[in-house]
Structure 1
Amino acid sequence: MIIQQIFTEKVAHSSYILAGDRNCAIIDPRRDVDIYLKMARELGVRITHILETHLHADFISGHLDLAERTGATIYAPEKGNCDFEHVPLKEGDIFSIEDIELQVLETPGHTPEHISYVVVDTARGKEPIALFCGDTIFVGDVGRPDLFPGKAQELASRLYDTLHDKLMELPDFCEIYPAHGAGSLCGRAMASKRSSTIGYEINYNYALEIKDREQFIGSLTNNMPEAPDHFSRCSDVNRIGPEKMKELRNPEPFSNSEFRERIGKAIILDVRSFESFGGQHIPGAYNIDLNSNFPTYSGWLLPPEKDILLVTDNYFQALDACIQLHRIGMDRIAGYLEEGMYGWVTEGLTTGHVPQISASELHERVTEEKELTIVDVRAVSEYEDFHIEGAVNIPVHELRERHVELDRDVDTILICGSGQRSSMGCSILLQKGFSDVRNAAGGMTGYAAAGYGPECPKCVLPWAPFRNIGSDLP
């Protein structure tokens, strides 16, 4: 028996090959499936089974593409009520791949229909050796139960039963293979390690150490990170069956005139670095750096009903952006600006700018006797850990609505951890009619590295008149 993990960066998704001598299963495949075909060929096995643990909320599954290209059978939770052809599975079902026996457990909690696969290598023994647990239990964490409005308490209670009555009853040596690792928003405190054992998690997973049901429910239904917008869309796409990748065309190259004709009917997504976007960009564009957590923020910030026009440094960057957008179901990609911003500016076309300021410049600005708004666009938990005194915290995705809390007539500097999210925020504020916005290049990381403390002596909150905050300090 062979188990190989495929980890997809940024969405922090783990899928798996479970192989015997001749045949194999793919568990929770991502949408672009060539990697599984390549790995199966390298192992000398045929893909015969496609196993889904649940209807994924954070990415689009590749089950239909993989089934079409291999002839493999899809297995999915019976309670998922999937529209595509599949074998529905429920508690107690058992099937085999050569000497590998897979036993199905219904493991609701993260989602109502969730199942897990208990693996027994019958060639070696009768006890479970591995568990493909999807988003039920992670290394250092458990699946969040709050993705379904009004059902968080119920699902958290069911997750408690799943963990204590089923998974924690498996042998301590049973290996666990979750569908996500650190960086995913399907949990709150996942470790960087990508696999573990039941015994280790019983001893060191904070959630499993909570024995009281009500305390457990409270810990998973309070102060959870916000779920990105696409989480509410992907589950149903996966249930119905996503459009196949072969039906999605490669990005079309547009000349400047062709690109301009489409502006107004589509959104512009500039995937270049925040430094490049700050120097020159097409007015009205979103900036989501391809090197950031690009798929998550694209699914969070972009309106899904609009076509997308890409601004990239080159064709290969456009292809990469398309793959990452397809992974979270953003399929309406019209094309990309063929000659990039160089071709745009050399034709004399209009551009916008976002001044980038360094940590020392930021420190000078916040100590001047001038009105100033600093908007910290990081998550609330990051802000609470360390921030500039007087900065207002509006997470970047909330700027779409909460921009009305800011004074357009006051100089506004946006800051995050590095400069990427704050550049996203700058692009949103520019769309909302702000003109004087600046990006803190290097973010709080650079500000701290330059030796400046988290306290800002003088700053204006957007809902209050200027005051000398420094006078309030001891």
Structure 2
Amino acid sequence: MKIEQIYTGCLAQGAYYITSNGEAAIIDPLREVQPYLDRANKDDVKIKYVFETHFHADFVSGHVDLSKKTGAAIIYGPNANPEFEATIAKDGQEFKLGNVSIKVLHTPGHTMESSCFLLRDENGKDYALFSGDTLFLGDVGRPDLAQKTASMTQEELAGLLYESLNTKIIPLANDVIVYPAHGAGSACGKNMMKETVDTLGNQKKMNYALNQPNKQEFVKAVTDGLLPPPGYFGMNVAMNKKGIESFDTVLKKGLNPLSPGELELAMEATEALLLDVRDADVFYKGFIPRSINIGLRGDFAPWVGSLIVDVKQPIILVTSAGEEEESVTRLSRVGFDNVIGYLNGGMESWIKSGKEIDTINRITAQQFKTELKVGETKVIDVRKDSEYAAEHVEEAFSRPLSDINTWFNFMKEDEPFYLHCAGGYRSMIAASILKARGIHNFKEVEGGLKAIAEAGVPKSDFVCQSKLQTS
């Protein structure tokens, strides 16, 4: 028996590859399935099962593609209602995999179909729990993502989660290894550890959710402080239920090279969004007007999903050389399948063709310190509210990037301001969006609050009571 965790950092997501005596199972696979096929071919094993812990909201799974290419059965727990062929297992049902078995534990609460998969070794001993979004390390799955489909409140779902944990998970032996679907950085929980593997015994000791005295306190604890889920979550759930276009087709369509002239024609014909995925320190020096910058080397897919309203939006890419395929792949992981091409030759070809470019007025933290006049200078902080509350530039305004589609409407075109985040990634996203929407009279601070603090700019934990106009 062999277990391999295949962890994707940009999604904070864990897929699992399990083999025993010539057979393999994949749990919660990513959209692109070729790596699993290559792994199975190398190990000379047949992929027999694709297990899905639930209908994922934060990414699009490769379950349908993988099943079509291998003949593997797709397995869900009770209450699942996919629009494709799948086995809907009963609670407690076991599936043989070589010399081991995998038992379905129905654990509703995160969603109604949520299930964990208990791996039993060659001797029938409980060995590992693939806990999906039911149990994370340091946390449990948020109970507010299934309300629309379950017709239940988040409190009622939290109550179900309490029962699931206490009747199905906590009674398991302390030495059972826990393999969760997500780790720190995922929006599917609020208090996850950075570690991605632990023992159940340790989780029983330190996981706050497993140490609540009763159901009422559990419900209160797990529902407190939940932020609104990203807008793309519902669309990803629908895609995972219905089945999706083959990733091979999505990739082929996206890897369509466009000359500068062809790009302009395509944008006019399709109203495509121009998405520039280059690093912020390159983007600000020159970019195609009205393009949006979300850097590939950051939390790329989650920010795309949070800020681009419709997964069906046509997208044209501007990338650094050689990053076209990775960009299309990572967009497809969160359901953005409508990439219709990329700028062939990148910004160099655009500039050589004599086309117009735009820039961001980026300044150093030292220059910001020199120009800052507390009480007079308007400073916009696009970090999370919690980051702002901990510390911020004195009298800065908190305007989280996740809410930019709302607050940008109240910005005045002729009023100058400064823009920053923690390190420069999010503020460049915000800067590009503001530019695309006609707001130009600002300066973005390189290096964010980290550099600002190092420059000796006064900070405060007092929340500024004055507000930008919001109504």
Interval of TM-score (by shorter of Structure 1 and Structure 2): over 0.9
Tell me the CA shift for residue 254 of structure 1.
0.6
Contact 2:232 2:309 (C-alpha < 8 Å) held by counterparts = no
Residues 167-200 of structure 1: per-residue CA shift (max 9 Å, x gap): 0010111111111111111111111111111110
Residues 424-470 of structure 1: per-residue CA shift (max 9 Å, x gap): 1111212222121222111112222334342499x995538xxxxxx
1:45 corresponds in structure 2 to 45
1:176 corresponds in structure 2 to 178
1:406 corresponds in structure 2 to 411
Does residue 313 (structure 1) correspond to residue 320 (structure 2)? The answer is yes
Work out the CA distance in 2 between the residues paired with 1:117 and 1:455.
Answer: 48
Tell me the CA shift for residue 166 of structure 1.
1.5
The within-5 A match list for 1:93-112 is: 93-112=93-112
1:151 corresponds in structure 2 to 153
Work out the CA distance in 2 between the residues paired with 1:181 and 1:252.
Answer: 34
2:71 corresponds in structure 1 to 71
Residues 323-353 of structure 1: per-residue CA shift (max 9 Å, x gap): 0001001000011111222221222211111
- Give the aligned residue type for 1:307: P
Residues 88-146 of structure 1: per-residue CA shift (max 9 Å, x gap): 1121212211221222111111111101111111x23x431111110111111111111
* Change beyond 3 A, Cα 1:49–1:460: closer
Work out the CA distance in 2 between the residues paired with 1:463 and 1:445.
Answer: 24
With normalisation by structure 2, the TM-score equals 0.93
* Change beyond 3 A, Cα 1:346–1:98: closer
* Change beyond 3 A, Cα 1:90–1:365: farther
1:83 corresponds in structure 2 to 83
1:284 corresponds in structure 2 to 290
SS of the residue corresponding to residue 15 of structure 1 reads strand
Runs of 5+ in structure 1 lacking a partner?
A: 465-474
Contact 2:360 2:431 (C-alpha < 8 Å) held by counterparts = yes
Work out the CA distance in 2 between the residues paired with 1:456 and 1:89.
Answer: 52
Residues 243-294 of structure 1: per-residue CA shift (max 9 Å, x gap): 1112222421111111111224111101111122211111111110111100
- Give the aligned residue type for 2:144: D
Work out the CA distance in 2 between the residues paired with 1:174 and 1:236.
Answer: 33
Does residue 221 (structure 1) correspond to residue 228 (structure 2)? The answer is no
Work out the CA distance in 2 between the residues paired with 1:44 and 1:205.
Answer: 39
- Give the aligned residue type for 1:128: D
Work out the CA distance in 1 between the residues paired with 2:389 and 2:221.
Answer: 19
Contact 1:366 1:456 (C-alpha < 8 Å) held by counterparts = no
2:264 corresponds in structure 1 to 260
Work out the CA distance in 2 between the residues paired with 1:421 and 1:319.
Answer: 23
1:336 corresponds in structure 2 to 342
Contact 1:56 1:235 (C-alpha < 8 Å) held by counterparts = yes
Tell me the CA shift for residue 212 of structure 1.
2.7
Contact 1:182 1:189 (C-alpha < 8 Å) held by counterparts = yes
Work out the CA distance in 1 between the residues paired with 2:14 and 2:427.
Answer: 29
Aligned match of 1:361 in 343, 367, 370? 367
Work out the CA distance in 2 between the residues paired with 1:290 and 1:11.
Answer: 12
Tell me the CA shift for residue 226 of structure 1.
3.1
- Give the aligned residue type for 1:26: I
Contact 1:389 1:455 (C-alpha < 8 Å) held by counterparts = yes
2:380 corresponds in structure 1 to 375
Contact 2:63 2:74 (C-alpha < 8 Å) held by counterparts = yes
2:56 corresponds in structure 1 to 56
Tell me the CA shift for residue 365 of structure 1.
2.3
What's the % identity of the aligned pairs? 34
Contact 1:76 1:87 (C-alpha < 8 Å) held by counterparts = yes
Tell me the CA shift for residue 219 of structure 1.
2.1
1:437 corresponds in structure 2 to 442
- Give the aligned residue type for 1:381: S
1:20 corresponds in structure 2 to 20
- Give the aligned residue type for 1:324: R
Stretch deviating more after TM superposition (212-221 or 274-283): 212-221
SS of the residue corresponding to residue 261 of structure 2 reads helix
1:295 corresponds in structure 2 to 301
Work out the CA distance in 2 between the residues paired with 1:247 and 1:127.
Answer: 43
SS of the residue corresponding to residue 323 of structure 2 reads helix
- Give the aligned residue type for 2:129: L
Work out the CA distance in 2 between the residues paired with 1:449 and 1:19.
Answer: 51
Name the Cα RMSD after superposition: 1.9
State how many pairs are aligned. Answer: 459
1:418 corresponds in structure 2 to 423
2:139 corresponds in structure 1 to 141
Work out the CA distance in 1 between the residues paired with 2:388 and 2:433.
Answer: 20
Contact 1:275 1:356 (C-alpha < 8 Å) held by counterparts = no
Contact 1:372 1:410 (C-alpha < 8 Å) held by counterparts = no
Work out the CA distance in 2 between the residues paired with 1:419 and 1:319.
Answer: 25
